[in-house]
Chain A
Amino acid sequence: MGAFGTRGAWAVAILAIAIGSQARAEGDGDDGRARFFEREVRPLLIAKCQQCHGPKKHKGGLRLDSRAAFEAGGESGPVVEPGKLDESPLIEAVRYEGLEMPPDDRLADDQVAILERWVVEGAVWPGAAGPVVAKAEEAVDEPLWSTIPPADVRPPSLEGLAGTAWEGWARNPVDAFVLAELVRNKLAPAPEASRRELIRRATFDLTGLPPTPAEVAAFLADESIDAYERLIDRLLASPAYGDRWGRHWLDVVRYAESDGHNADAYRPQAWRYRDYVVASFNADKPYDRFTAEQIAGDELAPGDPDATVATGFLRLGPYEYNQRDVRGQWSNILDETTDVVGEAFLGLSVACARCHDHKFDPIPQTDYFRLRAFFAPVLPRDDLPLCTVAEQNDHDARLAAWNDATKDLRAEIDAIEKPYREYREHDAVIKFTADVQELLATPDADLPPYDRQIKALAYRQIVFSRDAVLTAGAIKKADRDRWQALTDELKKRAATRPAALPEALGVRDVGPEAPPTIIERSRKANGPIEPGFPTAVEPSPPEIRPTATSTGRRLALASWLNEPDNPLTSRVIVNRVWQYHFGRGIVATANDFGRMGDPPSHPELLDWLARRFVADGRRFKALHRLLVTSSAYRQSAFRPESEAEEARSIDPDDRLLWKRPVRRLEAEAIRDAMLAVSGELLPARGGPAVDAATTPRRSVDCKVVRNFRAPVLDAFDFPDGFNSTGARNTTTAVTQTLLLINGPWTLKRAGALAARLEREAGDDDRARVALAFRLAFAREPENDEIDEAVAFLRRGDRREALVDYCHVLLNSSEFLYLD
């Protein structure tokens, strides 16, 4: 097992960046050798041997693209004698001691050394014990690109462009990659966008809001050479940045604030996780810390309020309050968590492997359950404390005093209610099958971990029924008046009761001992599955360090995700950031880096970015700066049709970035922009969620109720909150059009905008139109646009005409799209 995989805390992994990944020891044993094969040997075989000994050609009868073929050897038999360099024809050949292989491209000494070490250590071609082998033998087992650590690539040299129009185009290494690829495909980048376009683009991109007329004017007037860079710094420092980019992450983790089943109960504490995410982005929290907090905050930093709230990530899934099949329910909860973790952090669509070995990616069903096993010990909690010990003690003391003062009152109420509560409890218990009823009757101490989890899940339903509000009608007549009087009195006294301390939804482990994980729905008998990483990426078992209260499993997963050369984690996240800036990821399927996903358009750029991100301390703001200040980002959305036509014939979907794509704003940006332009947007941020229809606050702070999505957001492809959303849909449905042109919400914004124009631009139609354009489009109107608008405004009632005009602006493509 590698040195870093064994470390517990994220901090150690951070430290490792400084030391460099060379410090990794490959470790002993088969796992270390398998890792060595995947990281060093296999890439070499692919790069240097498979052209002649691979899927297309099998010179000398030899193929080096699958374990079976390798073992079978060539026409003259096996090419390697494990452990014996001198008896291995392959080594002879690469040393140029007999056959000279590869014939035209002799291996460097260090490459020969890799193969020598491999043979000396037994020529392990991994998968021998696991089911990967079965798959591998069927197909050519070329490894999935995304399972190989990012290569240490250098930005391409642009020396060849000296003297051309594109000399000096590249502002930073990102541009070098982009430009080289454009040139290779006989394409050229678009000219730089205008300053107005740039400020509108960057402001929406980084804050989700339109630039104000004053901001536009200041930027246009700023003649300093770094005006754009300082604009970007200002935007990144704005708290609106966290609102915008936090919301992107909420898409990925399928954030919602309600249970999502029939009752769809609202989760009054869920917003704390949203605030945590927004604050993390604003604080530029390193991504490894962010990852570890969400997966294992309780194990990483016990008692830390941020880390506590972060584990709310593991509680975002739907919950059915009256599901009597508790075992099935728990299994579904674990599956759902596993699926989201796979997609969000690993960019792997692992859900396929829940029921069968993945058909396309190297994820056998056992890998799915290995991953699930990290989460198997979890115990959902709704009452995690967020205060200091002193606050808790103070509260407890005051509560004890209040309890004492109301002791008799409460005792009398309890006595009257007791039979009803008992009946309800009994009624709730008997709805379960006999085995679950037995668990409910057994003390926790006598139950193994799994049974404790099932009991806790069932017990939620008991509490829900037993403690639900009693109404007077339910109390027998003899007691009713007395009960009413007592409860009324208690309500009065409630004012003096110390306010409840804040609590978070989150998880802890059920204990230091994990429940067993088995492959469900499997016809084959199977033993307990130990936690493990996707075999194709990391075959070694994790080193897990239990504490007195926790299994340590999740922290081990987080540590592995955060290893500097984890091939997936950093690629997946930099690709997400790229996607939100450029409209499409380098890998277009942001949640699927598997074979069914899109291959990267710029693989070397992706690797370079991934390593750079790690080297920069995994801070998002540095990455934004790098991308947003690039020439590639600053391109215009416009090309003369003569150029565009040719470019389209080479690269029809603009994957190589020969111009800026035009994009529709997302649901939140449309809603927030309308409120900002109309002058209604309130500055308040964070805290308990508000209603999108009635409260003019930023959309990220609006309620996310799974079964009742806010119509104004829903119409513009707001995610469903059930699936991790890697990329949003962009539909143009008539429901949108109807909402915009006939719906009351947009009409009200138009009214407010009209009032603002009257207020701020005086009585002059031309001035009103100019302000309207500055607000809505961040530009000045052309003369013919003014004439057209003034003519429109002079029809009929003046106020009505102004409202109608504003309504048209808010419906217009220019308002809804970004160049």
Chain B
Amino acid sequence: MTRAVPHFTTPTSRREWLLKAAAGFGALPLFDLMARESAAASGEAPPWAIPARADSCIFLFMEGGPSHLDLFDPKPLLNRLAGKPIPPSFKPVITSMGEFHSPILPSRRKWKRHGDSGAWISDWLPNTAEIADDLAIIRSCWADGVNHVNGVGQMNTGSTLIGRPSLGSWVDYGLGTANQNLPAFVVLQDYPQSRVAGGPRNWGTGFMPASYQGTRFDGVDVPVADLRPPAAIAGTRQKAKLALLDRMNRRHMAPREDQTELDARIKSYELAFRMQAEAPEAVDLSLESAETRALYGMDDPVTEPMARNCLLARRLVERGVRFVQIYCGAGSRWDSHQDLEGKHGLRCQASDRPVAALVKDLKRRGLLERTLVVWGGEFGRTPMSEKGDGRDHNASGFTMWMAGGGIKPGAAVGATDEAGLYAVEDRLHVHDIHATILNRLGADHARLIYRNQGRPERPTVNEGRVCEKLLA
């Protein structure tokens, strides 16, 4: 629905499409669209298409930087060095709050191996531990952003700087969507009033047309801004208006028939009307069984916000939405410069059950096979303490996990050094993570191109490689 409607007009022939696309609105990148549209029309794949292993992606974004050292990456050294400075053998990193020389903070977690894979998961995530064998855990992620905005920005757009399209936008642009009545790319926040670091540009399109941007689904009744007219003018009043508007627009278009955008505008009113009908149903969680609602934790006020979003995400991917991003702890709530115990404890409590339920529910419905689930934040945290009981940002080594569509269940990839400061083994940069996600969804990141003022732009900024160890 957020897509530019001209892309939907189904041309009867390639030639007709070329003609229509060329007939006057030069702003869209014709050749890339040609690749997309001719593929859609003729069944030919776009040049970047590869066999897809997943139809949708749900990206669970733990915003603020969850501590890998207290969740997935146990480091006994920290407890041995507790209170001492980090040994000089570790190369300094620039940290946000300048805590490199602060004393080491031990982890207070109890650690166990889980499942057949024997994955280390701390006692903060008991429900996640139950799905250990579905997960591929990557303990060697790294990124370039020192601060939240750079970090969240890079995890979404590939660049710590501003102005590039988000991953969801690339997916929408490159692969389209199965349901024309819902947005291809939906963004959810557990705290809708909070501001994700960097704001909406994290699901924006940068230099690409705005039609590929993510759409926030906020409320329950009205998921999209202005989806419904104010009550006073709804119903027959609106129908009469739409009918008159349609007649006027068709009369206006008649002598301008080769301007396909005018046709697209007429269709977009039809689409808006259909969406008014379909979107509320898609987000109506009362249609779910009591058992399902309980599984996610809808009945517990602590887990409810995240449970709602996870359940919503499942309903959306069921309906063909291509990319769903859930901000967990929206407004940098994983950020724990102080009181790591309290802050992380609450975040884990609020998200562990819903996240695990999402994977379980997708699996039992047969959706997990074609749905890629990704968990992670913009960076991890330092082994060094901050303000006595917190941890600073650490982008040089942290943990993410993937599950479902085309991902090897139970895999363990990479490792950090003894202190959990640097990723040292099978290092995965953000670009590699993006390349891998795109690969599973059916796009070769190196060939997925959008021409920005003549310059061929790629989602991974011309870098990145697919991590073969993650692939099923």
CA distance A124 to B206 in the complex (A): 44
Let me know if A325 is at the binding interface, CB within 8 A.
yes
Chain B interface bracket (under 10, 10 to 19, 20 to 34, 35 or more): 35 or more
Q: How many residues of A contact B (CB 8 A)?
A: 88
Q: How far is the CA of A814 from the CA of B94 in the complex (A)?
A: 56
Please tell me if the beta carbons of B269 and A741 are within 8 angstroms of each other in the complex. yes
Query: 0/1 per residue, A641-668, Cβ < 8 Å to B?
Result: 1001000100011100000011110000
A431 to B4, CA, bound (A): 46
A415 to chain B, nearest CB (A): 28
Q: Scoring A residues 689 to 730 as 1 if CB is less than 8 Å from chain B, else 0, what string do you get?
A: 000000000000000001110010011010010110011111
Q: Which of B225, B244, B245 contacts A738 (CB 8 A)?
A: B225
Interface of chain B residues 225 through 273 with chain A (CB within 8 A): 225-230, 233, 237-238, 240-242, 244-245, 247-249, 252-253, 255-259, 261-262, 264-266, 268-269, 271-272
The distance from the CB of B76 to the nearest CB of chain A, in whole angstroms, is: 29
Cβ of B258 and Cβ of A588 under 8 Å apart? no
- B-contact bits for A571-605, CB 8 A (1 contact / 0 none): 00000000000011000111110101110000000
Contact of B225 among A638, A711, A720, A816 (CB under 8 A): A711
Partner of A261, one of B18, B27, B198: B198
Task: Check if B19 is an interface residue, CB within 8 A of chain A.
Answer: yes
**Chain B residues, Cβ within 8 Å of A6:** none
Q: Any chain B CB within 8 A of the CB of A742?
A: yes
Instruction: Please name all residues of chain A whose beta carbon is closer than 8 Å to the beta carbon of B275 when the two chains form the complex.
Output: 734, 738
Q: Which of B269-284 contact A (CB under 8 A)?
A: 269, 271-272, 275
Tell me, rounded to whole Å, the shortest Cβ–Cβ distance linking A584 to chain B.
5
| Bound CA–CA A637/B257 (angstroms) | 11
Given contacts A433-B98, A732-B265, A733-B2, contact A653 B230 (CB under 8 A): no
Indicate whether B407 reaches chain A with its CB closer than 8 angstroms: no
Query: Within 8 Å CB of B77, what residues of A?
Result: none
CB-contacts of A276-334 with B (<8 A): 318, 320, 322-325, 332
User: Which stretch (B128-136, B420-428, B452-460) binds chain A?
Assistant: B452-460
Question: B2–A737 contact, CB under 8 A?
Answer: no
Whether A323 contacts B241 in the complex (CB less than 8 A), given A731-B209, A742-B228, comes out as no
Contacts of A399 in B (CB 8 A): none
Contact A322 B257 (CB under 8 A): no
Give the distance to chain A from B13, nearest Cβ to Cβ, in Å: 14
Q: Does A349 contact B (CB under 8 A)?
A: yes
Contact residues in A for B147 (Cβ distance below 8 Å):
261-262, 320, 322-324
Q: Which of A340-388 contact B (CB under 8 A)?
A: 343, 349, 351-352
Query: Is B472 on the interface with A (CB-CB < 8 A)?
Result: no
Interface contact A792-B244, CB-CB below 8 Å: yes
Q: Is the CB of A596 within 8 A of B215?
A: no
List, in ascending order, chain A residues with CB within 8 A of B272's CB: 734, 737-738, 741-742
Q: Is B302 part of the binding interface, using a Cβ–Cβ cutoff of 8 Å? A: no
Q: Which parts of A184-217 form the interface with B (CB within 8 Å)?
A: none
- B5 interface residue per 8 A CB criterion: yes
Residue ID in chain A nearest B149 by CB atoms: A262
Query: Is there a chain A Cβ closer than 8 Å to B199's Cβ?
Result: yes
Give residues of chain A (425-446) contacting chain B, Cβ–Cβ below 8 Å. Answer: 430-433
Indicate which residue in B229, B233, B453 contacts A349 across the interface (CB closer than 8 Å): B453
Partner of B224, one of A262, A352, A738, A814: A738
A733 contacts B241, C-beta separation under 8 Å:
no
Interface pairs (30), CB distance under 8 Å? A260-B162, A261-B147, A262-B198, A324-B95, A325-B146, A343-B453, A430-B98, A433-B98, A596-B456, A641-B257, A653-B22, A654-B23, A706-B201, A731-B211, A732-B4, A732-B211, A732-B268, A733-B268, A735-B1, A735-B215, A737-B271, A737-B272, A738-B224, A741-B242, A788-B247, A792-B244, A808-B241, A808-B248, A811-B269, A813-B248
Beyond A261-B147, A323-B146, A597-B454, 9 extra complex contacts between A and B, CB < 8 Å = A320-B147, A324-B147, A325-B94, A717-B210, A720-B204, A730-B25, A736-B268, A737-B269, A811-B269
